[in-house]
């Protein structure tokens, strides 16, 4: 009986790959939007994306990766601020120093190719 009750509670929580409390509200909203787009049009490139979390300078940053996109993922802070990376800027170290890759959410057709 206890297993059944705990299964109900687990199944009601959103299917993130990290703890629900570690997913910022802005990201929950984006994932909800992505899932709606995929549901309505599964052939679109949204079905191949994923949100990842990295650690850099003791803060978490989130990146949207999609193998069908030619753009470099833009790191976004937990607060929802985009980390703008310019030449000769201290932020250029982000791509060299980021660590601890963790998946937050994967679309149904997401495939990982290489390490971005």
Domain total of the chain: 1
Question: Is the pLDDT confidence value at 59 over 50?
Answer: yes
pTM above 0.75?
yes
Range of the domain at 81: 14-106
Q: How does residue 13 score in pLDDT terms, banded at 50, 70 and 90?
A: very low
Which H or E run includes 53?
strand 49-56
In a domain, 71, yes or no: yes
In a domain, 38, yes or no: yes
In a domain, 82, yes or no: yes
Residue 85: how many other CB atoms lie within 10 Å: 15
- pLDDT (tens digit per residue) in 74-107: 999 999 999 987 766 767 788 889 999 999 999 9
In a domain, 18, yes or no: yes
Name the nearest CA neighbour of 52 among 62, 42, 44. 62
- pLDDT (tens digit per residue) in 25-46: 999 999 999 999 999 999 999 9
Sign of the CA dihedral running 17, 18, 20, 22: negative
Residue 64 burial by Cβ neighbours in a 10 Å radius (0-12, 13-18, 19+): buried
In a domain, 113, yes or no: no
In a domain, 112, yes or no: no
């Amino acid at each position: 009986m206890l297993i059944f009750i705990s299964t109900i509670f687990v199944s009601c929580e959103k299917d993130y790959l990290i703890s629900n409390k570690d997913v910022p509200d802005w990201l929950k909203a984006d994932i909800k939007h992505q899932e709606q787009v995929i549901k309505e049009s599964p052939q679109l490139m949204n079905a191949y994306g994923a949100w990842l979390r990295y650690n850099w300078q003791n803060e978490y940053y989130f990146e949207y990766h999609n193998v069908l996109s030619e753009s470099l993922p833009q790191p976004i802070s937990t607060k929802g601020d985009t980390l703008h990376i310019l030449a000769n800027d201290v932020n250029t170290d982000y791509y060299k120093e980021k660590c601890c890759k963790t998946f937050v959410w994967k679309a149904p057709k997401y495939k990982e190719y290489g390490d971005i």
